[in-house]
């Protein structure tokens, strides 16, 4: 509701950025008002307090007390709600993408889920705890939301079936393979720019050097987790590349792991 209100009113947005408060506090206050409005009507809402830690993690921790008080104050409503507390990606600034742990953090954003107190201690809650040991993505979160809204009400939240899709991991240090993957990576990134209609605005990228390349076995195919530096942007990028009988194929989209500054200005929407 906060983003919709800000989009509708320039005065609302202006007062937000000119106030002495912090954006996440204003968002939480607006969310609280929404939670207590329309009694008896099911509601779904989202806030996106990115300014709190998007540029630096150093400013994050002072907000612990803010969130604690918010959850304590609204516990009665939260105990009747499904709540997803999450990020769309992990930290990318301040050089964190250059180290292996930082690369994992970027691809493993924070996710916390609470369920209504009526379902705690049930098979649904037990499976949710088991899921903490499995890989989760935003696609899983979307599927979960659809399950909550469309499927589970009919089964009274008793359907707990799921699939195990965990791959086996294995390393690789073949220099020829690394170069082949790096050049394939750069080629297909450039093709994405062509398809997006921005190649005339963006510089062609070339493979510079690897940061990390790992090999996974996936149902008979070889899946590579590729993290490389490209030039002239000197950007650190990641993607998955699959090898099968037909050769190499792109297995995912591309992710920028370090700060890109003005280099993304050529993209649609920027």
pLDDT digits (tens, 9 = 90+) for 128-149: 888 777 766 667 777 777 777 7
pLDDT (mean) for 87-94: 80
| pLDDT score of 36 more than 50 | yes
| pLDDT score of 266 more than 70 | no
Quick: pLDDT tens for 69-85: 999 999 999 999 998 88
The answer to whether 27 and 37 are in contact (CB under 8 A) is: no
Phi/psi of residue 70, nearest 5 degrees: -65, -45
Predicted local distance difference test score (pLDDT) of residue 50: 80
Every domain of the chain with CATH number 3.10.450 lies at: 168-264
Contacts of 77 (CB under 8 A, 6+ apart): 35, 36
Distance CA 246, CA 185 (A): 17
- Is this structure's pTM higher than 0.75? no
Distance CA 79, CA 260 (A): 40
For domain 168-264, say whether CATH 3.10.450 is its number: yes
Exposure of 150 by Cβ count < 10 A (0-12 exposed, 13-18 middle, 19+ buried)? exposed
pLDDT (mean) for 31-59: 85
């Amino acid at each position: 509701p906060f983003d919709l209100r800000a989009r509708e009113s320039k005065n609302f947005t202006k007062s937000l950025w000119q106030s002495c408060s912090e954006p996440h506090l204003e968002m939480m206050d607006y969310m609280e008002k929404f939670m207590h409005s329309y009694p008896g009507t099911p509601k779904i809402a989202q806030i996106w307090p990115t300014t709190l830690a998007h540029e630096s993690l150093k400013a994050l921790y002072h907000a612990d007390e803010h969130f604690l008080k918010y959850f304590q104050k609204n516990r009665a409503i939260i105990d009747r709600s499904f709540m997803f507390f999450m990020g769309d990606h992990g930290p990318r600034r301040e050089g964190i993408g250059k180290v292996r742990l930082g690369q994992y953090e970027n691809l493993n954003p924070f996710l916390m889920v609470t369920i209504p107190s009526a379902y705690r201690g049930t098979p649904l809650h037990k499976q949710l705890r088991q899921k903490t040991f499995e890989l989760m993505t935003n696609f899983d979160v979307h599927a979960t939301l659809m399950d909550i809204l469309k499927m589970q009400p009919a089964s009274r939240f008793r359907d707990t079936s799921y699939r195990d899709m965990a791959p086996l991991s294995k390393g690789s240090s073949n220099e020829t393979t690394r170069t082949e993957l790096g050049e394939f990576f750069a080629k297909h990134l450039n093709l994405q720019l062509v398809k997006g209609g921005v190649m005339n605005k963006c510089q062609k990228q070339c493979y510079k050097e690897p940061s990390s390349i790992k090999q996974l076995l996936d149902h008979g195919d070889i899946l590579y987790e590729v993290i490389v530096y490209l030039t002239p942007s000197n950007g650190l990028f990641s993607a998955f590349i699959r090898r099968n009988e037909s050769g190499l194929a792109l297995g995912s989209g591309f992710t920028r792991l370090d700060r890109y500054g003005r280099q993304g200005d050529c993209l649609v929407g920027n």
